[in-house]
Amino acid sequence: MTKRKTWPVALTIAGSDSGGGAGIQADLKTFAALGVHGTSAITCLTAQNPKHVLGVEPCPPKMLARQIEAVFAELPPCAVKTGMLYSAANIRVIADFFESRSIRSRVPLVVDPVLVSTSGKALLNPSAKKVLTEKLFPLATLVTPNLDETGALLGKTPRTLEEMQAAAREIHRRFGCAALVKGGHLRHGPAAIDIFYDGTTELKLSAARISGVRTHGTGCTYSAAICAALAQGNNLPQAVRIGKKFITSAIGHSYRIGKHFALGQISKSTRQ
């Protein structure tokens, strides 16, 4: 009789991208590529493509709560990530769920603080930012802001490696969670460098910059890869390294879709 392999479960709580390059769709592709069964709770529907976000329709908070409850009831995840949350009400649903069930001590939570789309569309209501930082960040195992998001959170956008290091430490000091400050938009030098800090360990994650490719959904995919690695039992520094390797490979294997690029198929070597 064939012995069935057991896959760990991960949950993404995020928005749906009708263009297929970011959000829930990117997260589920990433989970599958890394040998993790993906579950989802959709926070909002978006009408979007790689160029524009044409509309956003948030999920009612009660329905979001039911999605999360349904997953935990029968498919308890080994790790959870959040992406586009959009409204203060939906952020409260997630924070209340984690707090009320003491889930924080058992399930790692990766928070990708999605504030603005690549095309410039606001993906978080202004009133929700305070709830995000005060309610959800303190429950997070890791937050993964890019440079612009770091600037929005701290009031100053890092422009140098030293400023990124200081920002990661400041996020940890303010909110009590580990930080991964992503420097992909810092166009100085041939490397794309990210800084991780968890209060004890600081990592400088460097990879050769891949030019000529404008990708959509890199932040979603990066945080999903970290979440998948945590679901497989890796510790946080190891998971961040796996995520960096995965996203670098995904960008390098990008393919064309119409006039745009999509993150590419991932070689099995990135699972190691």
Prediction pTM value? 0.92
Q: Are 227 and 39 in contact (CB under 8 A)?
A: no
Q: 166-175, 179-188, 200-209, 225-234 — which is least confidently predicted?
A: 179-188
pLDDT classification of 271: cutoffs 50, 70, 90? very low
In this model, does residue 92 exceed pLDDT 90?
yes
165 within a domain of the structure (yes/no): yes
CATH number of domain containing 114: 3.40.1190.20
Higher per-residue pLDDT: 103 or 32 = 32
84 within a domain of the structure (yes/no): yes
15 within a domain of the structure (yes/no): yes
Tokens of 93: 């649903």
53 within a domain of the structure (yes/no): yes
Q: What pLDDT sits at residue 121?
A: 61
Q: Are 259 and 252 in contact (CB under 8 A)?
A: no
Q: Are 243 and 270 in contact (CB under 8 A)?
A: no
* Rounded (5°) CA angle 67-45-93: 40
Q: Report how many domains make up the chain.
A: 1
Tokens of 217: 């959904």
Catalytic residue among 59, 78, 177, 220: 220
243 is catalytic: no
Beta-carbon neighbour count of residue 66 at 10 Å? 14
Catalytic residue among 19, 217, 244, 270: 217
| DSSP letter (8 states) at residue 216 | S
Tell me the pLDDT tens digit for each residue of 237-269.
Answer: 999 999 999 998 887 777 677 777 777 755 444
Catalytic residue among 82, 144, 215, 221: 215
Q: What pLDDT sits at residue 70?
A: 97
Q: 8-12, 121-125, 132-136 — which is least confidently predicted?
A: 121-125
Tell me the pLDDT tens digit for each residue of 219-228.
Answer: 999 999 999 9
DSSP 68-123: HHHHHHHS--SEEEE---BSHHHHHHHHHHHHHTTGGGTS-EEE----B-TTS-B-
Q: What is the side-by-side order of every strand in the sheet holding 191-197?
A: 53-58, 37-48, 9-17, 79-82, 109-111, 142-143, 178-182, 191-197, 202-208
Beta-carbon neighbour count of residue 253 at 10 Å? 16
Q: 16-30, 74-88, 145-159, 241-255 — which is least confidently predicted?
A: 241-255
218 is catalytic: yes
155 within a domain of the structure (yes/no): yes
21 is catalytic: no
Mean pLDDT confidence for 133-141: 94
Instruction: Report which of 184, 115, 185 is spatially closest to residue 143, judged by C-alpha positions.
Output: 115
- Give residue 185's domain range: 9-259
Tell me the pLDDT tens digit for each residue of 35-73.
Answer: 999 999 999 998 988 788 888 899 999 999 999 999 999
Spatial separation of the C-alpha atoms in residues 176 and 191, rounded to whole Å:
29
Catalytic residue among 219, 221, 243, 270: 219
Q: 49-63, 110-124, 156-170, 208-222 — which is least confidently predicted?
A: 110-124
Spatial separation of the C-alpha atoms in residues 119 and 269, rounded to whole Å:
32
Q: Strands 142-143 and 178-182: what pairing?
A: parallel
Mean pLDDT of the residues in the chain = 88
4 within a domain of the structure (yes/no): no
220 is catalytic: yes
Higher per-residue pLDDT: 113 or 189 = 113
Q: Are 167 and 158 in contact (CB under 8 A)?
A: yes
What is the enclosing helix (H) or strand (E) of 127?
none
265 within a domain of the structure (yes/no): no
Catalytic residue among 118, 141, 150, 218: 218
Catalytic residue among 29, 81, 135, 182: 182
1 within a domain of the structure (yes/no): no
